[in-house]
Amino acid sequence: MKSETVSIPQPEHAARTLNGYLVKPARVPAPAVLILHEAFGLNDNMRDIANRFANAGYVALAADLFSDGNKMLCMVRAFYGLLVTPLTNGTARKVRAAFDFLRAVEGVDARRVGAIGFCMGGSYALQLACLDGTVRAISIVSAQNPRPLDAVKRACPIVGSYADPDFVTASGKKLDMVLDEYNIPHDIKIYAGAKHSMFNDGSAAYDANIANDAWQRTLHFFETHMAA
């Protein structure tokens, strides 16, 4: 396994780049996963998840969506984009730039690239799934649905994990129904009694059993839908 810090160019802002943590498995070419962080940014938890994907045989890129400017301002813009200008906002374009960068990394099988996102990052992973036809599969751990919701009729296969009760529980249940309606392959699971940061082992809400189940479901789903 080999890791490095990379700079991700942004086509709309030639003078700006995003930081990223890139890690490759021992054997390449390999499928790849873009990792989209929650509101805490690119931290040790996200790097650890990238390492876990590399150990599972994926090239993994954890992109720092807040690294091209003031962190607080970037965060405000990201949440504003989810609420006011979904699918067309600047953060969504950053995510697509990071995804395109990952597909071009040496050792990546560009036909087999997916994404995983957590809370805010999960919401942007859903937007990516609806906007870019080259995404093979995504995993979300808590997310707000894109608007309009019928955008998911263009989505790739989706595996999702949600806590209950949580402010996005209803979104997960609604997403499950709409994906059924549009015949999009999916595996949405609502974990009763779990808390919002159930997957983050640095949080008091972390639940090892639930996190392991969500992880295994994600790996199985990716293996199924990102097969050569």
Q: What is the 3-state secondary structure (H, E, C) of 185-217?
A: CEEEEEEECCCCCCCCCCCCCCCHHHHHHHHHH
- Whether omega for the bond prior to residue 86 falls within 30 degrees of 0, making it cis, is no
Q: Among 69-78, 184-193, 205-214, which stretch is predicted with the lowest mean pLDDT? A: 69-78
Element (H, E) at 140: strand 138-141
User: Is residue 86's pLDDT more than 90?
Assistant: no
pTM, full prediction: 0.94
3-state secondary structure of 44: helix
Output DSSP code: residue 166: S
Average pLDDT, the chain: 92
What pLDDT score does 74 carry? 57
- CATH of range 2-225; options 3.40.50.1820, 3.40.50.980, 3.40.50.300, 3.40.50.1000: 3.40.50.1820
User: Is residue 80's pLDDT more than 60?
Assistant: no
Quickly list DSSP for 74-118.
Answer: HHHHHHHHHHTSTTSSHHHHHHHHHHHHHHTSTTEEEEEEEEEEE
